[in-house]
Amino acid sequence: MRLTRLLVYPLLFSSALLVARPAQGQWSIAPSVALGTAIPAGAFGRDVAESVTLKGALWLRAPRVPVGLTLEGMYAQFRDVRPNMSSESTHLGAVIANVTTRRHERKLELYGVAGAGWYWRDGPTDSFAERQAPGINVGVGEIIALGSRDFFVELRLHAVRTPARTGEQWLTFMPLVIGARF
């Protein structure tokens, strides 16, 4: 049941983003999808290996404004590397709101991104007592404009503040994704 909720919320959010219609007026809204790998870090990195990650987002921006917003749904699956848990996986889902520093007016453009969200976790990583928690993220990306589509490469650090049996801890991982904006 937890796995179903972990998968359903981010995927429903991502699906809604993909079928969203562009807004009229000053703001432009563009859906995007991305696929890549997520590299665990810190204490979380001792228990799990790299994963596959999938992200769906809405990029919102106004003309001549150097900052924009993104609303995202993300899913990652980490394989457990502990000897007695070799067949188990940790699933992580998130809904995230970010501020981005980009204008998208050139063929190649570097941008920064930072934000906060709500993260859900399901799996055998027993050092974390709670299944959901707030988190933050910060990262950089590069947009490559080709015709009517924008492609991007992005690297972020996600840190989730999660209660653990030994006190508060940060669950950290770094997704590296390649995607397209429509």
Q: Per residue in 71-83, pLDDT tens?
A: 999 999 988 777 6
Summarised one tens digit per residue, pLDDT across range 11-23 is: 555 555 444 444 4
Going by C-alpha positions, the residue among 134, 153, 169, 133 that lies closest to residue 32 is 153
Q: How confident is the model at residue 113 (pLDDT cuts 50, 70, 90)?
A: very high
Q: How confident is the model at residue 131 (pLDDT cuts 50, 70, 90)?
A: confident
Q: How confident is the model at residue 179 (pLDDT cuts 50, 70, 90)?
A: very high
Q: Which domains does the chain have, with CATH numbers?
A: 2-181 (2.40.160.20)
Average pLDDT, the chain: 81
Instruction: Give all strands (DSSP E) within the chain, no chain letters.
Output: 28-41, 48-61, 67-80, 89-101, 108-122, 132-146, 149-164, 167-181
Phi, psi of 62 (to 5 degrees): -115, 150
Residue with the bigger pLDDT between 98 and 104: it is 98
Query: What integer pLDDT is reported at residue 167 of this predicted model?
Result: 63
Summarised one tens digit per residue, pLDDT across range 18-57 is: 444 444 457 789 999 999 999 998 877 777 888 899 999 9
Q: Is the pLDDT at 163 greater than 90, yes or no?
A: no
**What is the C-alpha to C-alpha distance for residues 120 and 99, in angstroms, rounded to an integer?**
21
Distances, alpha carbon 97 to alpha carbons 33, 100, 142, 158, 173, in Å: 15, 10, 19, 13, 17
Percent of the chain residues past pLDDT 90, beyond the cut? 42
Going by C-alpha positions, the residue among 88, 162, 160, 158 that lies closest to residue 130 is 162
Query: What integer pLDDT is reported at residue 4 of this predicted model?
Result: 54
